[in-house]
């Protein structure tokens, strides 16, 4: 989802990792190293249990020129495949200063990583085809991990090196589309223009004008578990202002979006309606300004303060 749409779902991890986990580094600069595990870690000792903050003993300044991935502990859980949603703890250290730069263990909350071939190559080998319960270490240049500028927020310069430790805690399979029993659409809902499971448009012909109330209806009732407050859900969505000719945003032509629900990270209308919906469901929403962007609207998205937002949302996973 577009960055400009504040408090709408975004397919990015928190800002610290947003430029890390998408493929935005230098092309071809992070070829997988074929050295042994010992050589790949350059004498660094990583100890402690998977699921707890790693204890890292450095062996002087980390000097690397290309990326190497090492399985420190091999888990016996499910193998992670392209399209899965992975809950992982991530620890990052500056190889030049030998100091911690970032750790999800500080907050006690895992990151949700959409496993994909589009991951930055620095992370791809640490996630795809690994098994749940594993601890994987990556040594790389800051340029390969974060791009030409490094990551100033982490205190990592573009000439530094990094050690990244990834604990793979859990995995959830992401559905390809809605999966469940079809329900009758309510009279207030627009018609859907579809291409297979993909929503490509909303047809407002004959749709009554919005009445200022927050509305939701299930078009396909999934057979999965109900979404709980605070979970990370993965969705496809299509958003359009009432009677507009085109969407202001959608994910069906891109990739599904993952975000926490019920905790204020998205517009209130999403938090109020998507908690309790079963995985596999397709729902339609009508969100008045009070539960969307308020009286100011969102000029960057072309949304006025009087606009009612209509969404179709497919719940593909929750973890």
pLDDT at 207 over 90: yes
The domains of the chain are located at 15-172, 180-318
pLDDT, greater one: 33 or 107: 107
Q: What is the mean pLDDT of residues 169-191?
A: 95
Q: What is the pLDDT of residues 222-256, one digit of tens each?
A: 999 999 999 989 999 999 999 999 999 999 998 88
Q: Which CATH architecture has domain 180-318?
A: Roll (3.10)
**292 — pLDDT class (breaks 50, 70, 90):** very high
Percentage of the chain exceeding pLDDT 90: 73
Alpha-carbon distance 174 to 276, whole Å?
18
Which of 15-24, 200-209, 296-305 tops mean pLDDT?
A: 200-209
Position 37 scores a pLDDT of: 52
Strand, coil or helix: 23: coil
What is the DSSP secondary-structure string of 262-309? SSSSS-HHHHHHHTTPBTT-EEEEEE-GGGTTGGG-BGGGTB-TTPPE
pLDDT at 117 over 90: no
Position 258 scores a pLDDT of: 84
Position 118 scores a pLDDT of: 77
Q: What is the mean pLDDT of residues 107-122?
A: 84
Q: Which CATH architecture has domain 15-172?
A: Roll (3.10)
Q: What is the pLDDT of residues 73-86, one digit of tens each?
A: 999 999 999 888 89
Q: What is the mean pLDDT of residues 200-204?
A: 97
Q: Which two tokens stand for residue 135?
A: 């601890």
**Where does the chain have alpha helices with state H?**
15-18, 37-40, 121-127, 142-146, 268-274
Q: Which two tokens stand for residue 292?
A: 């969307």
What is the CB-side half-sphere exposure of residue 58 using CA atoms within 13 A? 18
Residues 6+ apart with CB under 8 A from 257: 1, 9, 10, 11, 234, 235, 236, 237, 251
Q: Residues for the chain: how many in total?
A: 319
Alpha-carbon distance 287 to 283, whole Å?
13
Percentage of the chain exceeding pLDDT 70: 88
CA angle 80, 82, 83 (to 5 degrees): 100
Q: What is the pLDDT of residues 5-39, one digit of tens each?
A: 334 333 223 333 333 443 333 333 344 444 445 57
Position 17 scores a pLDDT of: 39
Position 4 scores a pLDDT of: 32
DSSP 8-class letter at 121: H
Q: What is the mean pLDDT of residues 174-179?
A: 94
């Amino acid at each position: 989802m577009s960055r400009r749409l504040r408090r709408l779902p975004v397919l990015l991890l928190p800002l610290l990792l947003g430029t890390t986990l998408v493929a935005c580094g230098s092309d071809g600069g992070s070829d997988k190293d074929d050295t042994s595990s010992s050589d790949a870690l350059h004498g660094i000792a990583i100890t402690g249990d998977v699921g707890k903050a790693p204890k890292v003993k450095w062996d002087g300044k980390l000097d690397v020129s290309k990326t190497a991935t090492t399985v420190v502990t091999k888990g016996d859980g499910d193998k992670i495949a392209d399209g899965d949603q992975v809950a992982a703890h991530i620890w990052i250290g500056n190889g030049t200063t030998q100091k911690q730069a970032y750790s999800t263990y500080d907050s006690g909350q895992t990151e949700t990583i959409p496993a994909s071939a589009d991951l930055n190559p620095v992370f791809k080998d640490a996630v795809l085809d690994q098994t749940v319960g594993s601890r994987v270490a990556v040594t790389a240049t800051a340029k390969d991990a974060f791009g030409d500028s490094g990551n100033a927020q982490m205190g990592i310069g573009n000439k530094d090196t990094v050690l990244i430790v990834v604990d793979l805690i859990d995995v959830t399979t992401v559905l390809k589309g809605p999966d469940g029993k079809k329900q009758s659409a309510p009279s207030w809902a627009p018609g859907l223009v579809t291409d297979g499971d993909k929503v490509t448009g909303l047809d407002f012909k004959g749709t009554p004008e919005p009445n200022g109330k927050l509305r939701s209806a299930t078009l396909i009732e999934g057979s999965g578990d109900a979404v709980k407050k605070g979970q990370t859900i993965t969705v496809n969505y299509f958003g359009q202002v009432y009677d507009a000719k085109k969407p202001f945003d959608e994910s069906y032509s891109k990739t599904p979006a993952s975000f926490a629900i019920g905790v204020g990270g998205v517009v209130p209308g999403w938090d109020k309606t998507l908690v309790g919906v079963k995985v596999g469901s397709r729902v339609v929403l009508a969100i008045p300004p009070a539960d969307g962007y308020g009286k100011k609207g969102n000029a960057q998205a072309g949304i006025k303060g009087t606009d009612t937002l209509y969404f179709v949302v497919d719940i593909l996973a929750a973890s």
